[in-house]
Structure 1
Amino acid sequence: MGSLKGPSRILAASLGSRTSDVFRFCAGFYSRIKYIKRRGTMVGITSYGAYIPWYRMNRTIIFEQLGWFNPATASVARGEKAVANYDEDSITMAVAAALDCLGEISRGSVDGLYLGSTSIPFAQRQNAAIVSQGLDLPSGVRTADFGGSTKAGTSALLSALDAAGAGNRTMVCASENRLAKPGSSQEHTYGDGAAAFLTGNENVLAHFKGSFSVSSDFIDFRRIQEEKFCHGWEERWIRDAGYSRIIPEAVAGLTNRYDLKMSDFAKIILACPVAGAMKGLIKSIGATPEQMQDTMIAQVGDTGAALPLMMLAAALEDAKEGDKILVVSYGSGSDALYFEVTDKIGEAQKGGRKGISGYLAERKDLSVYGKYLVFRNLIPLEVGIRGEEISPTAMSAVGRDGNAISALVGSRCGACGTPQYPKQRICVNPDCGAVDDMEDYRFSDKKGVLASYTGDNLAFSWDPPQIYGLVDFEDGGRILLDLTDCSLDSVKVKMPVIMSFRKKYADPQRGYYGYFWKAVPVKQ
C-alpha cells in the first residue's frame, strides 16, 4: 500500500486487506476520466458515399397494370422509383455505397461496420459481417445489424458516433430493398438505395453536435418474420398521428436541449415520404421550404432506413463550411441529429466519389412490369432445366477460400510484381516462375478493360442473355467475370469496367445466397 498516493491511499486504508478492490476501483475511475476526455474531442462524419441502382421504373407503369383494382393509387403514380437489379439486395448495395465512401482510405483503419436496414436477407447470419468481408475489412472489426424500424439507419449512425467518442473509426451503411404487395401504394412509393458514412475523431467534415431520440411503439407498418410484405394501417391516421406528431416531438426535443432555432439550420432533413404530411411538418416545426433537403421521392422513392442518410449524403455534396444540418428519421419513434459542417468539406467534395448526384445521372428505364416482378421473385417463372439445377453449396469450401470469393483477393508475385487470380504458389509470368513468394492482392477496387465478351443464350440468366467477359486489370491480371447492369448491344471490347459485389446465385433449399464480384461497364 506504500506505493499508493492521495485518494487511493485513503481508500485502501479504509478497505484494509482488500487492496485488489482498490486497484480495480482506481483503474475504473481513471479509465472513466480518460473516456470523458475523449468525449470532449470533435467527433463526426469523416467521409460519405451513396448508391442508387441503375434501373428506374416510371410509377405509371405499375398503375397501368394494376390501377384497375385500386384506382386510389393514382395519387402516388407520379415520378419514378429506383429498382435493384435481379442480382442486388440490401447487402450488395451497402457494399457499393461503402466503396463510394471509402475511396482511397485504408481498410485497415476501420474499426467497425454497422448495417441499418429493414430488408436484410438473413435472419441468422450476420449481414454486416458479409458487407465487412466484401469490403476486405480486418477480421478484428466490430460488426452489428440494426433493424426493426425505418430509423435503423440513424440508430446505427448514433452508435457509430458514440464509438467515435472512444476513438474508434466506424463505417455505417444503411440500405433498403423492400418488397411490397403488387398494386399497393407501397409498391408505387418504395425505392431501392443505400448510403454510407465513416465516423471518427480525425479529419471530421461534419461535426456531430448532439441528438435527441423519441421511442414510440406506434403501429403504422409491421411485418412478422415469416412474411414478405408489411401490413399498414389507415394512411390518414399514419400521417396525422405518426409523422405529424412524432417528428415535431423529436425536433422540439433537440432544439430545446441545445437552445437552437429552426432558422439556425442551413438544411433540414425530414425522412417523411408522404407529400401531404411534409407540408404540415414544415409549418409545425417553424421551418421554411427553402431549408428542406429534397427527399428524392420523385426520382428514387422511399428508401426506408436509408432515406435520411441518403438525404444527408446529398446535403453534404452541396454543403459549405459553417452550415448546420438537422437530420430527422422516423420509425417506432424518431432520431434527431445535429451536425455542423467544418472546413474539411471542400476537400471531401473534390474526392473521386460518385455520390447521390452521380448515381442519379446514371439510369436505364425498366419499362416491363413483368420483368420487375421476376426480379423481385414475386411471380413463378418457367426457368427450364438449367434454371432449376442448383448444385449444393459446400460451406467448408466457401470458408476455406475466404477473401478470394468475398473480396476478390488474388496474389501478387513478390519477385516480379505480377498479379494473378485466383491465388497461386507459382508466378504465372513465364519470365519469372517464382515459387511461394506471393502476397495478397485485392482486385475488387481495381479498374479494368474488357478484352473480350460473349452473350450466352443457353446458360440460365434472370435477365438473358448471360454475358461473360475477360477483364484485363489496369495494373495487371486477367479474370473471366459475369457482366451486369448492361445489355449485349451496349458492350464493346476495350470498354472500361469496374467491379461490383453481387448475388451470384440463390440456394433457397439450404437458405443460402452466394455472393461474388461482377464487372459493370463504366457509364460514359
Structure 2
Amino acid sequence: MNEESNEFGLLATTRYVPRLRLERGDVLAQHRWMAPGLKSLAKGRRAMANWDEDSVTMAIEAARQLRTASPGTAVAELTLASTTLPFAERLNAGIVASALGIAPDAVLRDTASSQRAALTELAAALRRPADTAPQMLLASERRIARPASTQEMIFGDGAAGALIGRGAAIATLVASASTHADLVDHFRQTGEDHEYGWEERWVRDEGYMKIAVATLRQCLKDGGVSAGDVTQFAMPAPLARINDAVAKKLGIAPAALVSAEHDSVGDLGCAQPLAMLDIALRAAAPGALVLVAAFGSGCDALLLRRTAVPCPGPVPDEGRAETSYMKYLSFTRQIDLAWGMRAEMDNKTALTAAWRDHARASRFEAGRCSACGTVQFPRARLCVNPECRAQDTQAPTYLADTPARVMSHTTDFLGYTPDPPFQFGHIDFEGGGRVLMEFTDTDVGELEVGLPLRMVYRVKEFDHQRGFRRYFWKATPVRPAASQASPASTTGAR
C-alpha cells in the first residue's frame, strides 16, 4: 500500500449521460423560420433523457457507477443536488437510497436552488475531519427549456457524482473559497418549468469577471499557489469565451481549460461542475493542481491535487443520435399528442400498497429457497419448484445487479407507451430467476434470444392527475463500455 492509498479525499468521480443525443441541427430546422439566430448554437448534439428518466433515475445510475468504482464502501451520508427534483415534498434522496440498498441509519438530504449547490456540498464534505464516514454526493438535472430558446440548445440532461472518504484517494483538497451574492443572472419561479435569464454579457462582466474571479483568486491565495501552477481549470459558463476571459485575467494557461463537452452533451446544470471535475481528474497527471468552480448566486471554488491513484470507472459513450424534435417535445410534455383510448387510464397509486411492496419495487427483491436454491420473483411463502414446494424458506436476494439474458421478447405497436413500440419479454437471470419485464433504451430489431442485459431503475408510470410517479427496474441491452482513458484534448471549454 503506497503513501497515497489511505488519504482522505475524493475516492471516485463519475458522470452519467442518457443514451439519446438530440441533434441540434434538427432543433434549428424547426425554429429557423422565427429564430434564425439559433444557428450559432446548432452544432453537435445535446443529451436527452428518455421518457422514463428523471433526475432521480439518472442519479441512481451515477451512484451505481460510483459503487462499482469503489466496491465495499459503506455510505454513511448521501446528498442529492438538483434544481429539477421530481418531488417538492418527498425526500428524493430517499428514493435513491432505497434503490441502492443504503442502510436505514444513513443521513440523507436533498439540496437545490442553485447550480453551484453540488460543488458547495463537495467543498463542505472535503473540509470535514479526515475520520468522517464515507459520503456520496450526487448531482442530477433534467431541465426543460422553452422551445426556440438558447437554453433549449445549450441544456443537456445527465448526472454526476463523487465519493468522499478515506482510502485510495484520486485527489485531495488543497484549498477552497466561497462567496455568496444575490446577483440574479437567471431564475425560475416555483412551479414553473422554464427559467428566465438576463443579458449574458452583463452576467459575464458583473458576475464571472468580478465575483467568480475574486473567489478564484482567494482560493489560489489560500492554497499558496499561483494561477500558472494550475494544469486543469474547470468552470461551467453560459458563453463559450467566458472561461478564456476568466483564465486570462487570473493568469491560468489557456491549455488548462477543461472541456465542457458542449458539442456532444450540453450543460448539465447543477451536475456540470462535478462532470467537468471528472473530466479534469481523468486528464490530470499525478501531482497536478485542479481548480474547479461553480457560479450561481455567488461562487464556489475548489483547488485539488491529483494523486497517483488511477481514476476508476467508465466514461460516457457517444450514445445514439435522436433526430425527432417532436419526440423530445413529447418526452418533456411540451406537446400533447393524441395517443388514443389505450392511453386513457387512471394511474392512482395506493401509498399503503406501495409501502408494503417497497422492497420488491425499490431493490428488485426476489426470494431464494434455502432448501433447494430456486430463485423466484416475487418472493413468496411457497417455493415454486414443483420438486421442493418448501414453505417459509425464502431468503431475500436482489436482482438489480445480477446479469441476465433475453429468453423471449415481444414488440407491440398497439399497446400504449410514451416511446412506441412497447417491448417486453421474459428475462433469465444468472444463478436463477425468470421475470416478465419491460425493456428500455432498446432499438427495434435489436432484441434477440440470449442477448445480455442489465437492469436500470426507471419511471414505470406517471400519475399526472395527482403529480405522482412510480419507479421500477427495467432491462436494457449491455453495450460495450466506453474507454476509461483520459480525453485526448482538454480544450474547448464553455
Same fold (TM over 0.5): yes
> Aligned residue for 2:329?
373
Residue 382 (structure 1) aligned to one of 326, 335, 338? 338
Give the C-alpha shift of residue 428 in structure 1.
Answer: 2.6
**Higher RCO (C-alpha under 8 Å, 6+ residues apart):** 2
> Aligned residue for 1:445?
401
Give the C-alpha shift of residue 177 in structure 1.
Answer: 0.6
- For 2:197, the aligned partner's letter is G
2 CA distance for matches of 1:479 and 1:164? Answer: 46
Whether 2:115 is the aligned partner of 1:150: answer yes
2 CA distance for matches of 1:107 and 1:131? Answer: 18
Further displaced range: 223-232 or 403-412: 403-412
Give the C-alpha shift of residue 92 in structure 1.
Answer: 0.6
Residue 181 (structure 1) aligned to one of 146, 149, 166? 146
Match of 2:207, SS state, is helix
Instruction: Answer yes or no: is the 8 Å Cα contact 2:223–2:303 preserved in 1.
Output: no
2 CA distance for matches of 1:63 and 1:286? Answer: 37
1 CA distance for matches of 2:200 and 2:105? Answer: 45
Deviations for 1:344-399, whole angstroms, at most 9, x for unmatched residues?
A: x22x43xxx323xxx233x1111011111001110111121221212321101111
2 CA distance for matches of 1:76 and 1:237? Answer: 20
- For 2:436, the aligned partner's letter is L
> Aligned residue for 2:492?
none
- 1:24-173 matches, cutoff 5 A: 42-103=7-68, 109-162=74-127, 165-173=130-138
> Aligned residue for 1:484?
440
> Aligned residue for 1:360?
317
1 CA distance for matches of 2:56 and 2:101? Answer: 14
Further displaced range: 424-433 or 136-145: 424-433
- For 2:440, the aligned partner's letter is T
Whether 2:472 is the aligned partner of 1:516: answer yes
1 CA distance for matches of 2:398 and 2:127? Answer: 31
2 CA distance for matches of 1:246 and 1:380? Answer: 42
Residue 209 (structure 1) aligned to one of 174, 191, 198? 174
1 CA distance for matches of 2:392 and 2:70? Answer: 29
Instruction: Answer yes or no: is the 8 Å Cα contact 1:108–1:137 preserved in 2.
Output: no
- For 1:215, the aligned partner's letter is H
- 1:338-487 matches, cutoff 5 A: 338-343=303-308, 345-346=309-310, 348-349=311-312, 353-355=313-315, 359-361=316-318, 363-487=319-443
Give the C-alpha shift of residue 204 in structure 1.
Answer: 2.0
- Which structure has more helix as a fraction of its residues? 1
Give the C-alpha shift of residue 199 in structure 1.
Answer: 0.8
Give the C-alpha shift of residue 47 in structure 1.
Answer: 2.0
Instruction: Answer yes or no: is the 8 Å Cα contact 1:410–1:441 preserved in 2.
Output: yes
Match of 1:371, SS state, is helix
The alignment-based identity, stated in percent, is 36
- For 1:360, the aligned partner's letter is D
Deviations for 1:206-241, whole angstroms, at most 9, x for unmatched residues?
A: 112221111111101101112110011112212222
> Aligned residue for 1:239?
204
Give the C-alpha shift of residue 416 in structure 1.
Answer: 3.2
Give the C-alpha shift of residue 163 in structure 1.
Answer: 5.0
| Larger Rg belongs to | 1
Further displaced range: 326-335 or 242-251: 242-251
1 CA distance for matches of 2:353 and 2:128? Answer: 35
Match of 1:284, SS state, is helix
2 CA distance for matches of 1:328 and 1:403? Answer: 39
Residue 259 (structure 1) aligned to one of 224, 232, 238? 224
Give the C-alpha shift of residue 166 in structure 1.
Answer: 4.9
1 CA distance for matches of 2:91 and 2:109? Answer: 7
> Aligned residue for 2:272?
307
2 CA distance for matches of 1:95 and 1:176? Answer: 12
Give the C-alpha shift of residue 75 in structure 1.
Answer: 2.0
Give the C-alpha shift of residue 113 in structure 1.
Answer: 0.8
The 1:372/1:499 distance shift into structure 2, 3 A limit, reads same
> Which ranges of structure 1 fall in alignment gaps of 5 or more residues?
1-40
Deviations for 1:414-447, whole angstroms, at most 9, x for unmatched residues?
A: 2333322111222333343332223221111111
Match of 1:201, SS state, is strand
Instruction: Answer yes or no: is the 8 Å Cα contact 2:7–2:168 preserved in 1.
Output: no
Instruction: Answer yes or no: is the 8 Å Cα contact 1:108–1:138 preserved in 2.
Output: no
> Which ranges of structure 2 fall in alignment gaps of 5 or more residues?
1-5, 481-494
Give the C-alpha shift of residue 319 in structure 1.
Answer: 3.4
Give the C-alpha shift of residue 484 in structure 1.
Answer: 0.7
Whether 2:284 is the aligned partner of 1:319: answer yes
2 CA distance for matches of 1:421 and 1:275? Answer: 51
Give the C-alpha shift of residue 71 in structure 1.
Answer: 2.4
Q: Which runs of 4+ in 1 moved over 6 A?
A: none
Instruction: Answer yes or no: is the 8 Å Cα contact 1:127–1:145 preserved in 2.
Output: yes
TM-score, normalised by the number of residues in structure 1:
0.87
Instruction: Answer yes or no: is the 8 Å Cα contact 2:200–2:239 preserved in 1.
Output: no
